[in-house]
Amino acid sequence: MYNASQTRYQSMEYSSCGESGLRLPRISLGLWHNFGDTAACGNMKQLCFTAFDQGITHFDLANNYGPEPGSAERNFGRIMKEELFPYRDELVISTKAGYEMWEGPYGNWGSRKHILASLDQSLKRLGLEYVDIFYHHRMDPATPLEETMGALAQAVTSGKALYVGLSNYDGASMGRAAAILREKRCPFVINQNRYSILDRTIEKNGLKETAAGLGKGIIAFSPLEQGMLTDRYLNGVPQDSRVKTDGRFLKESSLTQEKLSRIRSLNEIARERGQSLAQMALAWVLKDQALTSVLIGASKPAQIMDNIGALSNTSFSREELERITQLAG
């Protein structure tokens, strides 16, 4: 039986989700990859143990994470039952609904039917009575925003979620959603969006500015761009890399020689800072207090430990920021 480290809270930093009372570790563990049915159970456990032993209290899932869809929740639920349940009140567990999960017109998007049914299914797979944060995973152009937000509010009033969040919304849509949730007295606290040195979309679509203005948190996913902002591809594409073995999210065609050249130059800046490229990439996101946390993925416990090293230096000189921006393209 797992016994958590007695020193787990001594070094991790925690930050509030906007103006709410909920605090998340500056680095959170995402279960998008490496927790499906193709992953080894023993390794999944070690990833969770390593994370929690280092003060990472937040574990992020979605209904469709796998492969197969639902398997990440099911596997994490097994780990919760067998090892982590004594620590349930120390954990923040989040999940989402909104991407295709089952066949037919109700297995996708943002209808009340889909969202509430999906949450019930997620709780069953996780073996939990509630999740701490329940997200709508993406904007739905065919469903009234009032309906989608009403379903999120119902998740809270039913006791099946403590807080709600939005994922992949732009600034304008998030602002309208926030107004609806405020009227319903629903605790909307955080936005989950892609953000990295190479992807500044939330700076361009108003999300970052609007979230700060409304007092909402932001948690960044893919801060390492599916591994591009690590030392994994500095010398080409390894045969055992995700690009070669999976290819669903990062394709070899994305790793052009021009992009690899820019990544190598970014690595030089990281080396000058005394950091790995991954550490610098995470530190770059965390330099801004508007960002509550970053989501990391890991296939090995050592990667979690390396990523946590980013917290040792999240300050950048003006010259470093200018060089990084130039290389971002």
Q: Among candidates 200, 201, 219, which has minimal Cα distance to 296? A: 219
The pLDDT, as a whole number, for residue 235 is 81
Question: Does 237 score more than 90 pLDDT?
Answer: no
- Neighbouring C-beta atoms of residue 220, cutoff 10 Å: 24
* Whole-angstrom distance, CA of residue 270 vs CA of residue 278: 9
Q: Report whether pLDDT(165) > 80.
A: yes
pLDDT attached to residue 255? 79
Which domains, and CATH codes, for the chain?
A: 15-225+287-310 (3.20.20.100)
Q: Is the pLDDT of residue 150 over 90?
A: yes
In this prediction, residue 250 has a pLDDT band, given cuts at 50, 70 and 90, of low
Is residue 74 within 8 Å of 127, Cβ to Cβ? no
The model scores a pTM over 0.85: yes
> Tens of pLDDT along 254-307?
778 888 999 999 999 999 999 999 999 999 999 998 999 999 999 999 999 999
Res 32: pLDDT:
97
Q: What is the pLDDT of residue 246?
A: 59
Of 8, 12, 32, whose CA–CA distance to 296 is shortest?
32
Residue range 168-208, pLDDT digits in tens: 999 999 999 999 999 999 999 999 999 999 999 999 999 99
Q: What are phi and psi of 143, to 5 degrees?
A: -120, 135
Structure tokens at 227: 């591994």
Phi, psi of 29 (to 5 degrees): -100, 120
Sign of CA dihedral 303, 71, 135, 127: negative
Please check the confidence at residue 92 and state whether its pLDDT lies above 70.
yes
255 or 230, which is more confident = 230
Q: How crowded is residue 188: how many other Cβ atoms within 10 Å of its Cβ? A: 27
Q: Residues 2, 46: contact at Cβ < 8 Å? A: no
Nearest to 91 by CA among 195, 1, 4: 4
Sign of the four-CA dihedral 19, 23, 25, 29: negative
Go through 223-257 and write b for each residue having 16 or more CB atoms within 10 A of its CB, e for each that does not: bbbbbbbbebbeeeeeeebbbeeeeeebeeeebee
Per-residue model confidence (pLDDT) at position 75: 98
- In this prediction, residue 244 carries a pLDDT of 47
Query: What is the pLDDT at residue 179?
Result: 98
The count of residues in the chain is: 329
Q: How many CB atoms lie within 10 A of CB 175?
A: 17
Q: Report the distance separating Cα 30 and Cα 279, nearest Å.
A: 17
Residues 33-64 have pLDDT tens digits of 999 999 999 999 999 999 999 999 999 999 99
Q: Which of 89, 118, 116, 99 minimizes the C-alpha distance to 167?
A: 99
